[in-house]
Amino acid sequence: MTPDKLSPIKKEGLKSKGLVHIEGTLKDFAAWVKSAFPNGNDAREVVAKANEFGATALNSITASDIDVAHSLYPISVRTLAERLKQMRPGEEALMGRQFLQGFPPSWMLAASKVPVRLEAFESLKKELFESIERGDRLFVATGQAGSGKTTATMMAILDYASDNPDVPIYEMSRDVVSTTKAFSLLNRLHGERCIVFAGDLFVYGDGFSDSLLSIKSGGVTVVSSSRTGEWNEHLSRYLGEFARPALFQRFVRRDYDPLIDRLVEYVPAPRFRKMTRLQQHAELAKSKSQLLIALREATDSENFDDIITNEFEKLPDADTRRLLLIVGVSTLARIGVSADVAREAYYKLKPTRTFDKALEALDGIVSYTESRRLIARHDLYVRHIFDEVANFDDIRDAIRELLRTYIKYNMPVVKHVHRQDAQLFRFILNHTFVSEITQRNGRHEDGSVIYSDFETDFQLDGHYWLQYGLYLAAQGNLTEAIAMMQRSISAYSGNPYAVHALADLQLRSARQRAQYDAVTRDLIDIAVKTLSVMDSQQSLKIDQYPIVTLSLGHVGALVKHSQSDLAKKVAKDYYERVKFLSRNVYSSMLDRAEEKLFRYITLGDWGDSQSAAKSKSGRQAKHRR
């Protein structure tokens, strides 16, 4: 509702996006609200209408459950089918076109005829059904970015819902205030069995394992997806005990015909439509990339990189491109950014175009998530822009101004902002993200500048110093890195990530020293004691295994300083510990450490040039049900 008198064309344009314009003032709106809701709505009524909770579930919700209930959305196959019937052909076509061009799937889309049941779908569906029947707490579909795994997982859930209409299905919003509270509420509401779709597992962070442990065995099964690399290298460390990941394979030749049929029906691509079926097959086969990229390349007659480059360069002005970079950073984090934060960061760049006008110019590239956060079409698109197209100074400015929006909060920042804003803060500061951005643009030195700008503002934030130190370590500046780790521990004493990182740096520094003197031995002794204590704490979960850092760092330092007898002795002890751990959980980190130690013990070879060990075939992670 705005006082503007819009043209019929403008009204139709808004209508195509699901928006109806009403000409009126705030006073008119207030009068309408008063007449439509004379007695207002209480909190439970709002949840009932916004999230479509049934009467039985609604009656069990207490006042303390309201904030969590707002983030849980019941999924009904029957309701979705009814809504699809009511859809106009143009609305369905728009939904199909946006999906095939890279926008994320919705439940309406998953229930429609638009997505193809790829060859890999039946295998994924079978594994999901078996996981639910076993009463697993977690099911994870893994695959490449843009492979279609999330859509396939949603479709498989709907198939399960059709076969098991008495089992409640929910989607959990990314902005849920507490996943533990959400699972507790669902356990109470549904006791026997319940399915919760949690979208991208990456979004929920390392602490998700504690929430899964709170689930009553055989009750809630959380269904999610993860990129294969993120699962293998990071998430499996925390969640491997709960799930056997189901790999969603790349599309194959048998998928070509149904994919072509959808492209012809929903995507305006005259050149592709004029081709013979054999030529269309050849276009799909030509792309060796994941499904999303292959579909764009087939229909746009250009390679993926050129398509994205042209879209970015044809944006109306530098201000619009800068706003896309701000949203782009949050898209790479896969959680989006609130419009208020994006607006604040944007205006710090002193644009001439208003925020609303710039956002309007990004229509079709940027959209709102279900949590009302701005996000770009797909992080694969943004990755190419950041790596190959955008000016590095503009990227750096977008990162800086997003970070400046956090200065106003008390330290540590993550304790004083919304969960998704905390995740975005962590991501922006992450040393890997900063390193990738600077290295790919050939600006290695500028990563330090991004951090150094905030030494005063974030001086009491342990995470800031931790990531600053890890960045410096990655650049080979171990002395400064150690100083940053010590500051991190001073700002947040007992942070296991910083304590572990400091010990790792001490071993690396000892290895680099020219002499095996008292200073070198002291560095080794302190680090060994620290990591040994951390390894003995079975409940401790961080990104790395302390025993891996300890064994590789300690033996490596001794080998470097020609202390072979002592190196062989400790290597045997470490080998037994690593071997014991690797029997109980699959980890490529443990595999590599085990093989390196074994090779040294048997052959005396500690060559760092040795290639990483191949993952052990057939080993399955033990998991809790």
With 0-12 / 13-18 / 19 or more C-beta atoms within 10 angstroms meaning exposed / middle / buried, residue 599 is: middle
Sequence length of the chain is 625
Average pLDDT over residues 432-448: 78
Residue 619 confidence class, pLDDT cut points 50, 70, 90: very low
Mean pLDDT score, 492-507: 87
Q: How confident is the model at residue 525 (pLDDT cuts 50, 70, 90)?
A: very high
| Residue-level pLDDT at 74 | 86
Higher pLDDT, 539 or 255: 255
Please answer whether residues 189 and 163 qualify as being in contact, where contact means their C-beta atoms are separated by less than 8 angstroms: no
Sorted by sequence, the CB contacts under 8 Å of residue 122 that are 6+ apart come out as: none
Residue partners of 45: CB distance under 8 A and separation at least 6: none
pLDDT more than 90, % of the chain: 18
Could you say which of 3.40.50, 1.10.10, 3.90.1750, 3.30.1660 is the CATH number of the domain covering 71-247?
Answer: 3.40.50
pLDDT band at residue 40 using 50, 70 and 90 as cut-offs: confident
Top pLDDT among 243 and 224 is at 224
46 versus 361: the higher-pLDDT residue is: 361
Average pLDDT value for the chain: 82
The alpha carbon of residue 157 and the mean position of all alpha carbons in its chain are separated, in whole angstroms, by 21
- What confidence score (pLDDT) does residue 88 get? 82
DSSP string, 37-87: -TT---HHHHHHHHH---HHHHHT--GGGHHHHTTEEE--HHHHHHHHHH-
pLDDT digits (tens, 9 = 90+) for 161-209: 999 988 889 998 887 888 888 888 888 777 678 899 988 888 776 678 8
Q: What is the mean pLDDT of residues 226-241?
A: 78
pLDDT, average across residues 495-500: 86
Strand duo 366-368 + 337-338: pairing: unpaired
- Count helices and strands (H / E) in the chain: 34, 9
- Which of 282-286, 353-357, 563-567 is the least confident region? 282-286
SS3 at position 359? helix
Residue in the structure block whose two tokens are 């503007």: 4
Place of tokens 């398509």: 307
Residue 84 and residue 77: Cα distance in Å, rounded?
Answer: 11
pLDDT for 303 equals: 55
pLDDT score of 260: 85
Residue with tokens 């899964």: 212
- Summarised one tens digit per residue, pLDDT across range 444-464 is 677 788 888 888 888 888 888
Average pLDDT over every residue of 306-315 = 76
| pLDDT, tens digit, 9 for 90 and up, residues 379-403 | 777 888 888 788 888 888 999 999 9
Task: Retrieve residue 490's tokens.
Answer: 């001073």
Dist. CA 220–CA 265, nearest whole Å:
39
Q: Which fold has domain 407-493?
A: 1.25.40
Question: Does the pLDDT value for residue 15 go beyond 50?
Answer: yes
Contact between 365 and 311 under an 8 Å Cβ cutoff? The reply is yes
Single-letter amino acid, residue 131: S
Q: Percent helix, strand, coil in the chain (nearest 5)?
A: 60, 5, 30
Q: Determine what percent of the chain is predicted with pLDDT higher than 70.
A: 88
For position 52, what pLDDT does the model report? 59
Q: Tell me the residue type at 310.
A: N
Backbone dihedral angles phi then psi of residue 375, each to the nearest 5 degrees: -150, 145
Torsion sign over Cα 59, 64, 70, 72: negative
Q: Within 13 A of 81's CA, how many CA atoms are on the CB side?
A: 7
- C-alpha to C-alpha distance for 67 and 181, rounded to whole angstroms: 10
- For residue 48, the model assigns a pLDDT of 66
Q: How far apart are CA 339 and CA 222, in angstroms?
A: 29
Residue 136 is predicted with a pLDDT of 87
